[in-house]
Amino acid sequence: MPRIPLTLTPHGPALAPRYDARPAAPRRRSANPYVRLFAAPGAKAFTAGNLVARLPMGMFSVSAVIMISAAYGSYALAGAVTATGLAVGAVVAPWTARLVDRYGQARIAVPATVLAVLGHLALLLCVRAGAPAWTLFVSCAATATTPNTGAMSRARWAHLYRDDPAARHTANAFEQATDELCFMLGPVLAAFLCAALFPQAGTLVAAALFLGGVLLFAAQRSTEPPVAPRTRAGSPLRAPGMAPLLGVFLATGAVFGAMEVVTLAYVDGPVAGPVLALQAAGSCAAGLVYGRVRRAAGLGACLAAMTTLMTLPLLAATVTRGSLLALAGGLLLAGMATAPTMVTGMSLVQRLTPAAQLNEGMTLAVTALLGGIAAGSAAGGWAAEHAPAAAYGYLAPPLAAATALLLYMTKARRA
């Protein structure tokens, strides 16, 4: 029978410690930055809720256009109603974000989401009942309280990894890829639901996903950034360098808006959607790859690359004389510069914005981007209609990108 080593303690004999045992091997840290990113407690839970809440952002406009045009027989009315919602939202969003910074994400995002969902449901009921057109505008304007779920998610990453710039870079890349994925899949899902079920199905499903996702996201209180002490600081617009940077975001948004409208006008058919989606696919893939690099490129380099790559669709449309395959390839490559540009730009916004106003600062950047998309859509539509050939409409995106680069080099970089 083997002898069991004992040692005397104040409470009697006990097993003696073994000094020949090998120490436990330390856990090996993963080399994948995305694995390390989601190792933080609660990160997977709030990301899941945010993904569910963010998908409807690409569904609401398409669903509204299909629903209104089917009931009223007017795409002009449908476009005007959705444009009104975007315009009012651009004004209200920074105020909603300021309340989020002041009182916390859960306390503001949930009631703001409920109000926005009620606006979408009111729009649905007005369309269903054939109400006067003015009621559609009022209902759509009521959706303006929609909180910026992407900004709230980025704020959580910034809080979790406030002392780790590399992790924040990876998080910003992941969030940008998520944006591209949601705005690529959302319209497809909305169009399918409206066509396969009934015209209001897209709005109903989007509202349910939005409310459920925000409730799930807000329930993850352990990762919610703490409310910073109230200060007398004014708008983040007053932060040094912020205003010129928002001008860069405005011009960058014009790139996206012009590219979308010009492509829809040039392809003009059911293939336009899938061809255009390749730009978002290229951006999504590039964003995920960009998140793995240890040293991020400067915003000037990203804007220069975007300006260069945005000429590829123009070359594909003019040199190949309308080859859809060449155009698809050009859009895929052009999209690969947009995510790195947005990731680097959002990182600059986070750096320039005071910590107590982070949601408001990022929402201002998104608002500038949306304003640029609206301006780019108008410019792209004019170019597609008045250019000597439809292919020359593709001049608008690289010109907008060059404007963003010029603004950065002359204004934002010096700030």
**CATH code (residue 220):** 1.20.1250
Give the span between the Cα atoms of 61 and 48, in whole angstroms. Answer: 23
Per-residue pLDDT at 25 exceeds 80: no
Query: pLDDT digit string (tens) for 123-157?
Result: 999 988 888 888 988 988 888 888 888 888 888 88
Residues 79 and 220 in one domain: yes
Higher pLDDT among residues 68 and 413, named by residue = 68
Higher pLDDT among residues 324 and 322, named by residue = 324
Q: What is the DSSP string of 282-351?
A: HHHHHHHHHTT-SSPPPHHHHHHHHHHHTHHHHHHHHHTTS-HHHHHHHHHHHHTTHHHHHHHHHHHHHH
- Reported confidence tier of residue 230, pLDDT bands at 50, 70, 90: low
Q: What is the mean pLDDT of residues 97-124?
A: 88
Residues 244 and 138 in one domain: no
> Is 24 a domain residue?
no
Q: Which residues pair with 12 in a beta bridge?
A: 9
Residues 247 and 382 in one domain: yes
Residues 221 and 276 in one domain: no
* Count of the separate structural domains present in the chain: 2
Query: pLDDT digit string (tens) for 351-380?
Result: 887 767 777 777 888 888 877 877 777 777
Give the span between the Cα atoms of 333 and 259, in whole angstroms. Answer: 13
Poorest-pLDDT segment among 7-11, 41-45, 299-303, 366-370: 7-11
Residues 200 and 341 in one domain: no
Assign residue 257 the CATH number of its domain: 1.20.1250.20
Give the span between the Cα atoms of 354 and 375, in whole angstroms. Answer: 29
> Is 142 a domain residue?
yes
Q: Tell me if residue 6 falls in helix, strand or coil.
A: strand
> Is 17 a domain residue?
no
Residues 304 and 405 in one domain: yes
Residues 135 and 72 in one domain: yes
CA distances (Å), origin 105, targets 223, 312, 354, 388, 405: 11, 42, 17, 51, 34
| pLDDT score of 28 | 52
> Is 70 a domain residue?
yes
Host domain of residue 74: 45-171+183-225
Token look-up 């949930």 returns: 110
> Is 201 a domain residue?
yes
Inter-residue contact 143 to 87 (CB < 8 Å):
no
Q: Which residues pair with 13 in a beta bridge?
A: 8
Inter-residue contact 214 to 90 (CB < 8 Å):
no
Poorest-pLDDT segment among 4-8, 88-92, 322-326, 407-411: 4-8
Contacts of 314 (CB under 8 A, 6+ apart): 330, 391, 392, 394, 395, 397, 398
> Is 212 a domain residue?
yes
Give the span between the Cα atoms of 138 and 239, in whole angstroms. Answer: 35
> Is 37 a domain residue?
no
Residues 119 and 240 in one domain: no
| pLDDT score of 18 | 46
